[in-house]
A and B are shown apart, each in its own frame.
Chain A
């Protein structure tokens, strides 16, 4: 399972793990889309993510556009994955 969530009144943290390739990302998308409460922060914890696909990058960007930087961010990416966001010019999505 690539997704474990932790939720409280203030925020939802999605702990993702492994290789978020195209198929896994497509399967994860409806799961992630369940967290629609605009009052809560949505945080993707990337500490166990080894690889992200174009599809998952798009999901992240979509969440950022929907929720803004105060309500969505990605934390603790491994160096390889951090570099992906830097090259893509999406470092604004990363926050610790």
Chain B
């Protein structure tokens, strides 16, 4: 990387640092006015930005992208609008703890190609709500729509007197430049939403990062489930924006005793079961065995397009392709995450066998992300959930829209879904504004009465063992 490129990045960071400094003076009311202006601009431009993103990325469909933009603007705003994010945010006399919210500083927001404009609206809203400047790093296949989304938000923010350069964006960068930006000592945090490699780079940069993990979401239709309803919900979810959401279902797991009914229902609701030859043809275009990952060309494509790519005849009106599989792993590429309307189908013997299959799927590239179950047996729902390693276990709902939060449940609306330590993330939360604050605690003197009663001298006597100390500490004086 030459000096000019370094200087350009240094300038971006310097401007963000200045914006952070100015932002630090804003009170809650001013901050909320800016956030409201940005939310309204995002919502007003939901259709235009969705069309731009769909056209530019050639992924998904514009109508579902409108819904994503609306969630990112309206639902996120409704979730954060009353939150206290400036100055003293809580004061508890009993504990003697007063909490102060401080901004964290310049944030680098890495944007995925699958949800570009919605992720930008979401990240800008949560950054500004917490008085943090944000630098948008668009995906190379969605640069134009990403910059337009950022520009619209920035203009709206300035209309309410936000700090200059509180929103910036970069154009295409080399890997070296991205690394230089991520490692910049003045960068406070990376909000990394994207592929595993990129998230890993963010975590390796030395700058604190909130990232995401890959998903490989199993959906278990348990025998007590309402089958037509479950199938309807799964298709609604898996076909949403042609499957681009990483929380979308990747494999159906169904017990043999109900599998005939489930299959019939899938066919009735316009899913198509691939025969072995068709399966192989789709596998070739959907997965690279070399890199052991889905093909970028398949992501967010329609069933029709996938049929053309694979050279197979898919009957008209089909919404989803189903691939019957017997095992999970690299030998069966389509048991991996494929962000397109292609869904694996497993038949199992009983509850335990189903959970075993879901564990296999969960650990095959989707650990920490999400899992889904359709059931009315509370005990089984809990047993299943404890066995899953997933930040979100979605019950009787579409997992794509469910995991994003606030539509089908009370999870926080988010386009950055934490996958916990197994997914190499620091949290399993749906990331939101409160993750972008440094919380300072004023602590008033509140003596530990039990310690006062017991005294420290007791520790000095070596003959007194742990049981005696436990008793002494917990004595009811």
Contacts and interface: CB of A to CB of B under 8 A. Distances in A.
Contact of B25 (A22, A55, A58, A80): A80
B164 interface: yes
A57 B25 contact: no
Contact of A89 (B19, B163, B186): B186
Contacts, number: 45
B164 A87 contact: no
Contact of B165 (A21, A51, A54, A83): A54
Given A22-B161, A53-B163, 14 more contacts: A51-B25, A52-B22, A52-B25, A54-B18, A54-B22, A57-B21, A58-B164, A81-B25, A83-B24, A84-B25, A87-B17, A87-B24, A90-B18, A90-B21
Interface in A6-43: 21-22
B22 A84 contact: yes
A64 interface: no
Nearest to A55: B164
Contacts of A83: 21, 24
Contacts of A1: none
Interface of A: 21-22, 51-55, 57-58, 80-81, 83-90
Nearest to A61: B18
A57 B17 contact: no
Contact of B21 (A21, A22, A84): A84
Contacts of B161: 21-22, 53
The dominant DSSP class at the A interface is helix
Contacts of B182: none
A54 B19 CA distance: 7
A57 B24 contact: no
B21 A88 contact: yes
Contacts of B34: none
Interface in B1-49: 14, 17-22, 24-25
A93 to B, nearest CB: 12
Contacts of B25: 51-52, 80-81, 84
Interface in B130-164: 161, 163-164
Contact of B163 (A54, A80, A85, A86): A54
B165 A87 contact: no
Contacts of B18: 54, 57-58, 88, 90
A81 B14 CA distance: 18
9 closest Cβ pairs, A-B complex = A54-B164, A88-B21, A87-B21, A84-B21, A54-B163, A54-B22, A88-B18, A51-B25, A87-B24
A38 B314 CA distance: 79
Nearest to B19: A54
- Please classify how large the interface on chain B is, using the bins under 10, 10 to 19, 20 to 34, 35 or more: 10 to 19
Given A21-B161, A54-B163, A54-B165, A84 B24 contact: yes
Nearest to A86: B21
Contacts of A52: 22, 25
Nearest to B105: A87
A58 B15 CA distance: 10
A55 B20 CA distance: 14
A57 B18 CA distance: 8
B224 to A, nearest CB: 57
A68 to B, nearest CB: 19
Contacts of A54: 18-19, 22, 163-165
A64 to B, nearest CB: 13
Contacts of B163: 53-54
B17 A88 contact: yes
A87 B14 CA distance: 11
Contacts of A22: 161
Contacts of A21: 161
Contacts of A53: 22, 161, 163
B443 to A, nearest CB: 22
Contact of A85 (B21, B105, B164, B165): B21
B414 to A, nearest CB: 28
Nearest to A50: B25
Interface in B175-209: 186
Contacts of B20: 87-88
Nearest to A21: B161
Contacts of A86: 21
Contacts of A58: 18, 164
A85 B22 CA distance: 9
Contacts of A84: 21-22, 24-25
A52 B23 CA distance: 10
Contacts of A85: 21
Contacts of A90: 18, 21
A83 to B, nearest CB: 6
A21 to B, nearest CB: 7
A87 B104 CA distance: 11
Contacts of B105: 87
Nearest to A51: B25
A90 B14 CA distance: 10
